[in-house]
Amino acid sequence: MVKAAILGIGTVGGGTAEVLTKNRELIARRAGQEIELKYILCRKARPDHPFAHLIVHDIDTIVNDPEIGVVAECIGGATLAYEYDRRCLEAGKNVVTSNKELVAEKGLELTALARRKGVNFMFEASVGGGIPILRPICQCLAANEISSVCGILNGTTNYILTEMIQCGKSFAQALREAQQKGYAEADPTADVEGIDAGRKICILADLCFGKNVPPSSITTEGITNITPADIECARILGYKIKLLGRAMRTGPNSVSAFVAPHLISKSNPLANVDGVTNGISVKGDAVGEAMFFGPGAGAHPTASAVTGDMIDCVRDPSTRTYMGWWPSEPGYVTGPEKLSCKWMVRVVAPLSQIGAAFQGVRFIPAPNAEPDEYAFVTPYMPGEELTARTKGMDVRARYRVLDWGIY
């Protein structure tokens, strides 16, 4: 038997406690031994909670208990969680987490610490909620040189865009409904500005390419400026607007990683990932393109991934599942403005000025257009070239156009 502790009793921590308890016998068979939940760390007293008898208030109780073999950290943030996880690893305990901010910011350090201590630091639940994605990258796709990873990584923004596209709602209306349904926080900034997806694409890039991609090194663009006019232009073209996190090799020792809204063809499977569902594409030289879909958040989907990591930690104590990467050199992460693609642009400018800057572009009827407002699709060009060509124009929108198979 292995004794376990959970740090935090919120949505994910509570869900993990439920899964460990409900599926106790099944988990014991698959882990090869029973996992008994001994402690749940919570700073406040919760006398009415179903697991109140397990609650402790001091991390030292867990760190100093030699019976605790695996700790599930479900706190969030990169400050207190980092301190707790570091102390548990130093004490020789396996640690699993769903904390994408922590893994993106401190994963390089914590995975190295776990290796030195001969324990596991695992974080399947930090990307994609209940979707198995990180372990497949590290194990099932380990023989591949991965060239790119791309995906819908945030359920909140995908729900909002789905409502805007399918129901004609404004961004404000769709956001309000997402908050009412519990899909969005009272302060939705991290979701709608692409910050949450940015942390996740950093983790994916770390594992796919083997070197550290700090969140501070990537650009993130959210969905707050997407308008019904943009959605209608995309529809006319046969595309949908989706917020994508993307990372790809750009050279022998360089990668690009970023988050931005894209127009993607309706024939692309990612275009049909709606609601709070996530979808991720990984391209390798041997496997080709592998795609992963499933619930990207929620108590039980995320708890499923957390508990799966706990089972892996205790299944065979003589083996260690090393998930990690190496430091990167200055200049390893390059900006997306040098990447070439087609663009859908909506500007206010004289037609003669547009014609002089862009020859042979395809114009789209812009709905409810102002005088001299035009929408069009450009040929392939880097973002920095598009910026130069639209200098002096009132640019209302610009989106990368992504055809299926080109990531």
Q: List, for residues 384-402, the tens digit of each pLDDT value.
A: 999 999 999 999 999 999 9
Confidence band for 321, pLDDT divided at 50, 70 and 90: confident
Q: Which range of residues forms the domain containing residue 232?
A: 134-295+330-334
Confidence band for 46, pLDDT divided at 50, 70 and 90: confident
Are residues 85 and 218 located together in one domain of the fold? no
Confidence band for 323, pLDDT divided at 50, 70 and 90: confident
| pLDDT tens digits, 174-200 | 999 999 988 888 999 999 999 999 999
| pLDDT tens digits, 279-315 | 999 999 999 999 999 998 888 999 999 999 999 999 8
Are residues 39 and 103 located together in one domain of the fold? yes
Q: Which contacts qualify for 207-210: CB closer than 8 Å, 24 or more apart? A: 207/134, 207/137, 207/138, 207/323, 207/325, 208/137, 208/146, 208/149, 208/247, 208/282, 209/146, 209/247, 209/249, 209/255, 209/325, 210/325, 210/326
Give CA torsion, residues 247, 346, 162, 335, to 10 deg.
Answer: 10
| Within a domain: 124 | yes
Question: pTM (2 decimals)?
Answer: 0.95
Are residues 266 and 362 located together in one domain of the fold? no
Are residues 157 and 82 located together in one domain of the fold? no
The stretch 84-107 carries a mean pLDDT of: 97
What are the Cα distances from residue 62, in Å, to 4, 34, 39, 233?
Answer: 9, 19, 7, 56
Q: Domain containing 147 — which CATH number?
A: 3.30.360.10
Per the prediction, the chain carries an average pLDDT of: 94
- Residue positions annotated with a catalytic role: 200
Are residues 249 and 383 located together in one domain of the fold? no
Are residues 183 and 122 located together in one domain of the fold? no
C-alpha atoms less than 13 angstroms from C-alpha of 333 in its C-beta half-sphere: 20
Res. 407: pLDDT tops 50: no
Res. 144: pLDDT tops 70: yes
Q: Domain containing 355 — which CATH number?
A: 3.30.70
| pLDDT tens digits, 341-360 | 999 999 999 999 999 999 88
| pLDDT tens digits, 113-127 | 999 999 999 999 999
Stretch (H or E) spanning 290: strand 288-295
Check residue 404 and give its pLDDT: 60
The span from the CA of 97 to the CA of 315, in Å, is 18
What's the total number of domains in the chain? 3
| Within a domain: 40 | yes
Res. 151: pLDDT tops 90: yes
Res. 365: pLDDT tops 50: yes
| pLDDT tens digits, 236-286 | 999 999 999 999 999 999 999 999 999 999 999 999 999 999 999 999 999
